[in-house]
Amino acid sequence: MPSMNDQKLWGELESIIVSYRRMVRAELHGRWEKWPIDLEKREMYEVIGALLARQVTFSVDFAGAPEIWNHHLAPVILRAMIDNYINLAWIFGDPLDRSRKFILYGLGQEKLQIEHYKSQLQADGRNEDNDPVVKSRESWINSQRYTFLTEVSIGSWSGIDTRTMANEAGCIDMYNYEYQAYTAASHNMWHHIGKYNLATCPNPLHRHHKAPIAPSSAPDLDYLFEVTNLVGRTFKFFDDKTAVAVDIPSAFDRLVQDIDDLGMTLEKTSDSERPNISHEDDG
């Protein structure tokens, strides 16, 4: 990464990230500790808790992987995170019923995949009875002890599309302006690949046709801010819905402050020592 080659700066950024990862996990656990659990509705707490943890996983792993803070991969992560946010928001509209639907649909999908896998084993002339993958996946399904489990549903888990869910959950702006914006990258559409995976051929006789490229990109801090901010927004949404109040510093606020401080320190030293973090490709 030639545009971020100052080891000292990178080291400082790295320690900021280590601290972020620790703090954002503490935020998750703090909320879980403060949320009074009603075991009669355990599926609701488990689904909501797991969706919240999923959001934290995204940001913890993303923060630790600067090589994907770029327009090739960050939008794929961001779109999945917004999808997660919309699911969570929609579930809060009728938490117990929708959590159950969410579980039922997931179990149905898992059963379907096990069946596909068994068919593959049979086609390969292998015995499915003692297959460790089949055993492990089936035992996960059988370990589910929810009393409401009577049937397995196939189809969309919510019965409606993401746009309708976002609309019902009061986050249509997030769907329109963020989710949609990241769709091009997630679905590898022309308005993504045409910009990022083609370059004009240098041969003047070739009438400016384009040729495929797979460039690496320098880490872009804006994507780190977007991902970590999204977790902060998810926590805020959770707090508003559950009235859980935690006295834990925001990992996102701290990250912004730390990077800001780092920038200020850098300005006092020398411009040339600042990490060049931008949308520019490195080749």
Q: Which stretch binds Zn ion (CB under 5 A): 70-78, 84-92, 196-204, 240-248?
A: 196-204
Asked whether the beta carbons of 70 and 185 are under 8 A apart, the reply is no
Pick 154 or 199: Cβ nearer Zn ion: 199
Per-residue string for binding with Zn ion, 206-235, x by CB under 5 A?
x-----------------------------
Q: How far is the CB of 211 from Zn ion (least distance, A)?
A: 6
Smallest distance, Å, CB 252 to Zn ion?
Answer: 46
The interface region with Zn ion, picked from 3-11, 102-110, 171-179, 195-203 by CB under 5 A, is 195-203
Q: Which two tokens stand for residue 68?
A: 């994907």
Q: By C-beta, is 65 or 211 nearer to Zn ion?
A: 211
Residue from 37, 112, 133, 201 that binds Zn ion (CB under 5 A)?
A: 201
Q: How far is the CB of 197 from Zn ion (least distance, A)?
A: 16
Regarding 198 and contact with Zn ion (CB under 5 A), the answer is no
Q: Write the Ramachandran bin of 170: left for phi over 0, alpha for psi from -120 to 50, otherwise beta.
A: left
Q: Is 18 in the site for Zn ion (CB under 5 A)?
A: no
Q: How far is CA 161 from CA 44, 88, 110, 112, 176, in A?
A: 21, 14, 21, 21, 14
Cβ burial, residue 98 (10 Å; 0-12/13-18/19+): buried
Residue nearest to Zn ion (CB): 201
Which range binds Zn ion by CB under 5 A, 46-54, 62-70, 91-99, 199-207? 199-207
Please answer whether residues 133 and 175 qualify as being in contact, where contact means their C-beta atoms are separated by less than 8 angstroms: no
Amino acid in the structure at residue 70: N
CB neighbour list of residue 116: distance below 8 Å, 6 or more residues apart = none
Interacting residue with Zn ion among 119, 203, 257, 265 (CB under 5 A): 203
DSSP 8-class letter at 281: B
Subset of 142-171 contacting Zn ion (CB under 5 A): none
Report which of 30, 36, 158 is spatially closest to residue 94, judged by C-alpha positions.
Answer: 158
Residue 200 is a binding residue for Zn ion (CB under 5 A): no
Q: Please, what is the minimum distance in Å from the beta carbon of residue 213 to Zn ion?
A: 13
Q: Rounded to whole angstroms, how far apart are CA atoms 99 and 120?
A: 32
Query: Interface with Zn ion by CB under 5 A: which residues?
Result: 201, 203, 206
